[in-house]
Amino acid sequence: MREDMFKVIVERPRRGRSWATKSKLRYDKCEDRKRVSGHRLVTEHSGNVKHLNENLAPLKRYLHKQLGRRWDDVFSDICQRLDTGSTVKMHVREHLDDFILRKVRCGKDGVLMASDSGRGEQKIVDCWVELYVDPHDNVIKLTRNLCRKSGVLFARNRWKSTARKREDPNQPIVRAAALVWHVQLSSIWYAFKLSQTPKDSRGCEISKVDLFIELESNQWQNHERWRKPWKVIRKAQLSRKDLKKHGLTNLSPSAKEVQYV
């Protein structure tokens, strides 16, 4: 690690310096007040304060260059440059958890779990952080490679895919009846019959887009785990007669047998 890493990271000017309220008594709008602290003066003026604006890209690039190294060796190098004798250097060290998962353990069935103070413990394949420390050999590895081995997309890519589906106005889902929906999965149209109107945790009916995402991802099969009050009581592929009746067309020439759940 370069010796001036902490300077490179914090050298960017703070946001709000051009419009933030001056923390001087002569800028106080209250004429009768003779004493006021700078913090109170700034907070009274609609919260127009300066914000930190660190340039953390050098720290991220450094960590990505350490792929394949033991975390103990890497952290030793970091401590040599960013010691605990400086508040600024300690602040930079606090940003390590933004780019690498250090608290990793092996859970049930060999699943790697990461602990985060903000979001609690979760699977590494569900984390957005791109690096993690393997608890078996203490080596820095890529989260994307672990997701690839597990057969799932990287969490950030999953979110982007879901966001694109939400923005698509032509979703392959049609409401056929009060509790029956026609959904096109892998170019084949299916009929889903629900036990009741799908609602979220607040009791509000979920949108058509959200329902399509859950049916496509098979989350409805684990309704008890997700604490959903509704469930799918029947799933069946639409016949040619039903397709013609509702004006739908399968895009794939292959056909499957009717499935019941």
Pairing mode, strands 100-101 and 131-133: parallel
The pLDDT score that the predictor gives to residue 138 is 93
Question: Helix or strand or coil: residue 88?
Answer: helix
Distance of alpha carbon 243 from alpha carbon 237, whole angstroms? 10
Q: Name which of 147, 258, 164, 252 is nearest 213 in CA terms.
A: 164
pLDDT of residue 258: 43
pLDDT of residue 195: 86
CB atoms within 10 A of CB 206: 15
What residues does each domain of the chain span?
Answer: 6-44, 57-152, 168-246
Residue 81: the pLDDT is: 82
| pLDDT of the chain, 261 residues: tens digit per residue | 777 776 777 655 655 555 555 555 555 666 666 666 666 665 666 555 555 667 788 888 999 999 999 999 999 998 888 888 877 778 788 888 889 999 899 987 888 998 865 667 888 888 888 999 999 999 999 999 998 888 888 888 777 666 655 555 566 888 888 889 898 888 889 999 988 888 776 677 877 777 887 787 765 555 444 456 778 888 899 998 988 888 888 875 544 444 444
DSSP string, 70-81: BHHHHHHHHHHH
pLDDT of residue 132: 93
Residue with tokens 């690039």: 61
Contact yes or no for 182/176 (Cβ under 8 A)? yes
Q: Which pLDDT belongs to residue 17?
A: 57
> Which pLDDT does position 255 carry in this prediction?
44
State the pLDDT at residue 228. 62
Q: Supply the pTM of this predicted model.
A: 0.52
Burial category of 220 from C-beta neighbours within 10 Å (exposed 0-12, middle 13-18, buried 19 and up): buried
DSSP string, 174-243: EE-SSSEEEEEETTEEEEEEESS--B-TTSPBPPHHHHHHHHHTTGGGGTTTTT-S--EEEEEEPPHHHH
